[in-house]
A and B are shown apart, each in its own frame.
Chain A
Amino acid sequence: MNYNIDKKGYYGNFGGAFIPEMLYPNVTELKKNYLKIISEKDFQKEFNDLLEKYVGRPTPLYFAKRLSKKYNAKIYLKREDLCHTGAHKINNTIGQILLAKKLGKNRIIAETGAGQHGVATATVCALMGIECIVYMGELDIKRQAPNVARMKMLGAKVIAAKSGSKTLKDATNEAIRDWINNPVDTHYIIGSVVGPHPYPDMVARFQSVISEEIKTQLKETEGRDYPDYLIACVGGGSNAAGLYYHYLNDFRVRIIAVEAAGKGIDSGESAATSALGKEGIIHGSKTLLMQTIDGQITEPYSISAGLDYPGVGPLHAHLYRSKRAEFISIPDQEAMDWGLTLSQMEGIIPAIETAHAFAILESKQFKPNDILIFNCSGRGDKDLETFINYFKL
C-alpha cells in the first residue's frame, strides 16, 4: 500500500474535490500549478530562506530526559512550539502566501478556530503586504480574544461567522463562500490538510519540513534516521501530516494519531472523528466525519479549539481505515493534566492540543530502546486562560 496522494487526488477512498462549479476554476488553477510552482528553484529558495530566518527553523529535536526515564523509552520532542507565532501552522502559511503571490493573487482569506492559523496567516500577509481577511466563528471570537487582538494588530480584518454553530466548521463555510464571491483575485489559505484536492496534499507538503528535519537530526543523535514511533495530535491533522510525511511508506515506523475524546467518546461531546465518524463529504473532501444518520454534520466538542473539528483530513481517514496508524482518543481531563506534567517535567508549557498526544504515555507500553518522537506542535500561551480556570491557578 502506498500512502501518497494518487493522480486523481485521493488517498485510497478518501479525498477528491467535491466542490460547486463556482469553485472549479480556482481549484483547478491551484491543482494545475501547485506542484510546478513548489518545485521551482526560486520558490524553494525563498521558502527555505523564510523558514530559516523568519520562522526560526530547523526547530530542535529535543531529547526529553526526565520523561524518558519515567516512561522507560527514548522520548524526543520535535519543537514546533518554538516556531514564530507559536505553532507549526506558519510552515504552511509561508508556503501558501508565496504560492498566492506566484498566482498573482492580491487578497488572502483564511478560516480559524482557536486563532493560531488566523494569526499565522495574518503574519505572512503583513510580511508580504497583502490584504488579509480571517473568518472566525462568533463563539470562538469570544473565547479567543488574545488571538483576535493579535490578528488585528497584524492588520487583518476578522469577520465573525454567524451561521450554524458559530465555530470552526462555520468559519470554513464562510471562507468558502467568500472565495465563491471573489474567484479571481483571492487565494484561500486553508489551515489544515482538509478541503478539496489539492489542499490536503499541498498543506502536507508544506508541513513535511517537520519530518524532513527529523531524518537528519535523528541520524545525528541516534545513528539512524527513523524512529520506532511517531505521535501527534489530530484535529484536521496538519501537524500530524508533517510529522508522518517522510515515513508514511516506511513500515519500520509505527504511527500513532491522537484525537480529542472531549468529555468521552460516548458522551455526545467529543471530537474523536475516527471512532464516531462515517464516510461523507465535508468542505469539499470525502473523508470521515461526524454526522447524523441523515447526513447532517454534527457539532464536535473538545476543550482544545484546535481539535474541535467534525472531520479529519483524507490522508488520516486513509491511515485509519487501512490500519497504517493507530488512533487513540484522549479525554479533556487527561490532556489538561498533561499540560501540567509536561510543564513541570520538561519546562515546556504545551498547547492543549499538543498535550493530548503526550497523554498516550499513560496507557501505551513501549520497550526501553524504542525511539518515540512526539510532535510538540504548539505552545500553551494561548491556552493560559483555560489552564487558569481549569486548575484555579
Chain B
Amino acid sequence: MKNRIDGAFKKEKKLLSIYFSAGHPNLNDTSYIIKKLELSKVDMIEIGLPFSDPIADGPTIQKSSSKALKNGMSTEILFKQIENIRKEIKIPLIVMGYLNPIMQYGIKKFCKKCEIVGIDGLIIPDLPVDVYNDEYKFLFEKHGLYNMFLITPQTSPERIRFIDKVSKGFIYMVSSASVTGAKSDFNKKQIDYFSRIKSMKLKTPVIVGFGISNFKTFKTATKYTNGAIIGSAFINYIEKNGIQKINNFIKDILNE
C-alpha cells in the first residue's frame, strides 16, 4: 500500500499540518480534533504522544503534554482512539513522540500496532539518524512507516544532504535554533536560512515548523517550502476557545 504522506505532497497547494497533544484538553478529544481538522481542509496531522520530559518542547507543548498525562493518556489509549476513527479519515496521520515511551511499549509491537491502526509515519525527535538506520529502519519499512528527520539552522550542508538521502515522506525543517513555540514573525536570518535550504533543491519535500502561528508566518514560510506545521499556536487556541471552533483557526491561517 502507498503511504498517504506521499499522496499529500502530490497536491498543488502548500501543505498545512497541525500538531496537537493527544488527550488534551480532554482525554477523549483526540478523535473529534482529528475529524474537525480534516473537515477544515488540513492536509496532515501530527498527533503528539505525550511524554513526561519533552526536552525539545517549549512551555505550551510541555503543558499540554503534562495535562494529557494527568488526563490518563497512554500509548494504548492513543492507538484505540486512532483505530476507531481511521476509517473516516483520509489524510495522513503521524505520531510525534519521544523514544522512551515507544521503547517501553516495545519497538516491534509499536510499529506493528501503528500499521494496524493506520499511522503513516513517525517523528521521534530524540531518535538520532544513525541509530534509526542501524536498529529501526528495517522494522519501520516492514510496517510501511515513514520516519521523518529534523534539520535546523545549525545543520551542516553535508548532513542535510545525508538526511535528504535517507529520508522518506518529508524533512522537518526547524525554523530557528529553539524549542517549539509560537512566534509572531521571522527575522532576516531565518529567511536567509529558508532560501538557503530551498536552493539546495532536496529530493525530499520540506515542511517548516516551530514558530508558525498565523497567516503571515504560514505564508512567508511556505514561499520556501512545501508546507508548514503549526503546533503551539493551535494548542493555545483550543485552550482558549475550545475545540468546537477549530475551523475558525484554520480559516485564519489559510486566509479563507
Q: Are both chains from one complex?
A: yes
Q: Which residues of A contact B (CB under 8 A)?
A: 16-22, 24-25, 163-164, 169-170, 173, 176-177, 180-184, 278-284, 291, 293-297
Q: Are the CB atoms of B154 and A18 closer together than 8 Å?
A: no
Q: How far is the CB of A348 from chain B (nearest CB, A)?
A: 37
Contact B69 A183 (CB under 8 A): no
State the CA gap A20–B51 with chains docked (Å).
Answer: 15
Q: Are A173 and B126 in contact (CB under 8 A)?
A: no
**What residues of B have a CB within 8 angstroms of the CB of A25 in the complex?**
152, 154-156
Partner of B104, one of A177, A183, A295: A295
7 A–B contacts from the bound complex (CB under 8 Å)? A21-B125, A21-B128, A24-B152, A170-B53, A173-B54, A173-B55, A294-B101
Question: Residues of B at under 8 Å CB distance from A?
Answer: 51-56, 58-59, 62, 66, 69, 74-75, 98-105, 125-128, 131, 149-152, 154-156, 159, 174, 177-179
- The complex places the Cα of A231 from the Cα of B152 at a distance, in Å, of 44
If A25-B155, A281-B100, A284-B126 are given as contacts, then 16 extra A-B residue pairs at C-beta distance below 8 Å, sorted by A number, are A16-B131, A20-B55, A22-B150, A22-B178, A25-B152, A25-B154, A163-B62, A181-B178, A183-B154, A183-B177, A278-B104, A280-B104, A284-B55, A294-B101, A295-B51, A296-B101
Partner of B52, one of A17, A164, A181, A184: A164
In Å, the complex CA distance between A296 and B178 comes to 24
The answer, among B55, B125, B179, for a CB contact under 8 Å with A283, is B55
Given A181-B179, A297-B100, does the pair A20, B75 have CB atoms closer than 8 Å? no
Contacts A21-B174, A22-B177 given; does A281 touch B52 at CB 8 Å: no
Contacts of B131 in A (CB 8 A): 16, 18
Least CB distance, A300 to chain B, in whole angstroms? 13
The residue in chain A whose Cβ has the minimal distance to the Cβ of B58 is A177
Across the interface, do B177 and A182 meet the contact criterion of CB distance under 8 Å? yes
Kindly report which residue of chain B lies nearest to residue A289, judged by CB atoms: B100
Q: Could you say which residues of chain A place their CB within 8 Å of the CB of B59? A: 163
The one of B99, B155, B174, B178 in contact with A281, judged by C-beta atoms closer than 8 angstroms, is B99
Residues of A within 8 A of B99 (CB): 18, 281
Contact check, B58 vs A294: say whether CB atoms are below 8 A apart.
Answer: no
Inter-subunit contact B179/A296 (CB<8 Å): no
Q: Would you give the shortest CB distance from A8 to chain B, in whole angstroms?
A: 9
Query: With a CB–CB cut-off of 8 A, which chain A residues contact B74?
Result: 294
A337 to chain B, nearest CB (A): 34
Contact A281–B103 (Cβ < 8 Å): yes
Q: Are A19 and B177 in contact (CB under 8 A)?
A: no
Are B177 and A20 closer than 8 Å at their CB atoms?
no
CA distance A297 to B75 in the complex (A): 14
Contact assessment for B69 and A176 in the assembled complex, using a CB-CB cutoff below 8 Å: no
Is the Cβ of B51 less than 8 Å from the Cβ of A22?
Answer: no
| B residues in contact with A24, CB < 8 Å | 128, 152, 154-155, 159
**Which residue, B52, B127, B149, B177, has most C-beta atoms of chain A within 10 A?**
B52
- Contacting pair B100 A282 (CB below 8 A): yes
Contact in complex: A295, B100 (CB < 8 Å): yes
Bound complex: CA A184 to CA B52 (Å)? 28
Residue contact A295 to B103, C-beta cutoff 8 Å: yes
Residues of B within 8 A of A279 (CB): 103
A residues near B52, Cβ cutoff 8 Å:
164, 296-297
For the complex, what is the distance from the CA of A22 to the CA of B154, rounded to whole Å?
8
Inter-chain CA distance A280–B99, complex, in Å, is 8
**Smallest CB separation, B110 vs chain A (Å):** 10
Task: Name the distance in Å between A346's Cβ and chain B's nearest Cβ.
Answer: 40
In this complex, what residue of A is CB-closest to B127? A18
Query: A49 → chain B, closest Cβ, in Å?
Result: 34
**In the complex, what's the smallest C-beta–C-beta distance from A268 to chain B, in angstroms?**
17
- Residues of B within 8 Å of A18, CB to CB, are 99, 126-128, 131
Residue of A nearest to B51 (CB): A296
**A170 to chain B: which residues have CB within 8 Å?**
53
